[in-house]
Amino acid sequence: QQGDPVEAPAFLAASYACQRNTPQPGHNTLLTAALSVLAESAELNGDEGRGLAFRRSEGLLRSLDRRVQGPAELRGLPCLGDHSRRVIQDLLENGVSSEVEETKSSPRYKAMKLLTGIFGVGVKTAKRWFTEGICSLAQLETSGHSLNAAQQAGLKYYTDLNQPVSREEADAVSVMVEGVVHSVLPGARVTLAGGFRRGKMSGHDVDFLITHPDEGKEEGLIHKIIACLESRGLLLYQQTTRNTYRESAKGAGRPSSSMDRFERCFSIFKLTNDSSPEDTRRAQQDPERVRVEADQTGSGGRPWRAVRVDLVVSPISQFAFALLGWTGSKLFERETRRWAVRERSMSLSSHALYDRNQERYLRASSEEEIFAHLGLEYVSPTGRNA
């Protein structure tokens, strides 16, 4: 029953996710999927601390370069709390964890997942509705609650937005975004960020970071992009926020705030069914022809689908920080910031890195330089899937 304890390679002793290489999808998907359910359940209960503990366990297991066969192999591994270890042991011995199964089938978890699955609905709102007995979209629609614009769009496109975005769809969106950005500001650069930059094959949205090599040229760019997207009929919904970031003598903003302050747009794109990257490229040269083709190939009477897209504009001087911050994963980001504060007395945001001992900002023009400032070995985007 008890195998020999396996000597853990040095990197496995690393207790911060940013010290490890974490490829996608990992060798322990049964275990990580189970821990992810428990993390999500805690997060949906508003229990951030508990959620984070499960996320750290999940992240550690994702980074292992082989499949865990028995509990003995967990000896000496960091990040695994008692609760996580119990769940893992259950899964290894019985192939199933009763706690995970009970969580998944609980009415609360199911309702909260459904309600927070609506774009524009966070945990607090979902909780309020659930307390009032709302457990389905139909109940929400007849409840008489007035929904804000984001939530109305979220409800309207619920099915589409809960269908994963494929790599091919992301590439098609990239072509659309690049076309529009280059037409409103030649020389601007568009970089795919988020899960797709980490090499994921699907995602819940597509994330882009936009900049221009001449500092200042990017100011007000988001509004021009939105206007152009709208004139081409490519947007179903958008909410734009202006840039509110200023460097201050006190350090990298409020270090406690994980929200960044770039010009950005949370949007929903209208993506035609037959929009392979090639077709999309053609569409930009000859919009009329492709529109006709799309109508013919449309299934279910609708030749397009809704896709969530995040657009973020960064000045070139902050680009490396913005890229690191918008590539994720969320746990990788949290852990990098935690490492910075606890191990280096630095505060890291998507805008800057502030050294509290030297009382100055540390500049960087690449992600590699940021890792070097932090005293961390460089982890490539595809290794940040913690």
* Residues identified as active-site: 205, 207, 310
Helix residue spans in the chain (DSSP H): 29-44, 48-63, 82-94, 98-105, 107-116, 123-131, 137-142, 149-156, 158-161, 167-184, 194-197, 221-231, 277-285, 287-297, 319-327, 330-344, 367-374
Q: Is 194 in the site for ligand CTP (CB under 6 A)?
A: yes
Q: Which letter does DSSP use for residue 301 in this model? A: T
CA dihedral 46, 165, 324, 16 (to 10 degrees): 50
Q: Is 207 in the site for ligand CTP (CB under 6 A)?
A: yes
Structure tokens, 295: 């109508």
User: 16 or 326, CB closer to ligand CTP?
Assistant: 326
Q: Is 205 in the site for Mn ion (CB under 5 A)?
A: yes
Q: Is 330 in the site for ligand CTP (CB under 6 A)?
A: yes
Of 287, 282, 285, 304, the closest CA to residue 295 belongs to: 304
Q: Is 58 in the site for Mn ion (CB under 5 A)?
A: no
Minimum Å distance from CB 25 to ligand CTP?
12
Binding mask 307-346 for Mn ion (x = CB under 5 A): ---x------------------------------------
Q: Is 113 in the site for Mn ion (CB under 5 A)?
A: no
* Binding residue (CB under 5 A) for Mn ion from 73, 160, 169, 207: 207
Of 93, 88, 132, 94, the closest CA to residue 111 belongs to: 132
Q: What are phi and psi of 6, to 5 degrees?
A: -85, 135
User: 307 or 346, CB closer to Mn ion?
Assistant: 307
Question: Any bridge partners for residue 208, and if so which?
Answer: 192, 311
Q: Is 253 in the site for ligand CTP (CB under 6 A)?
A: no
What b/e string do you get for 147-181 counting C-beta neighbours within 10 Å, with b at 16 or more? beebbebbbbbbebbeeebeeebbbbbbbbbbbbb
Stretch binding ligand CTP (CB under 6 A), from 52-60, 136-144, 198-206, 230-238 = 198-206
Minimum Å distance from CB 200 to Mn ion?
9
* Interface of this chain with ligand CTP, residues 286 to 315, rule: CB under 6 A: none
Q: Is 381 in the site for ligand CTP (CB under 6 A)?
A: no
Q: Is 241 in the site for Mn ion (CB under 5 A)?
A: no
Give the footprint of ligand CTP on this chain (CB under 6 A): 194-195, 200, 203-205, 207, 260, 325-330, 333, 350
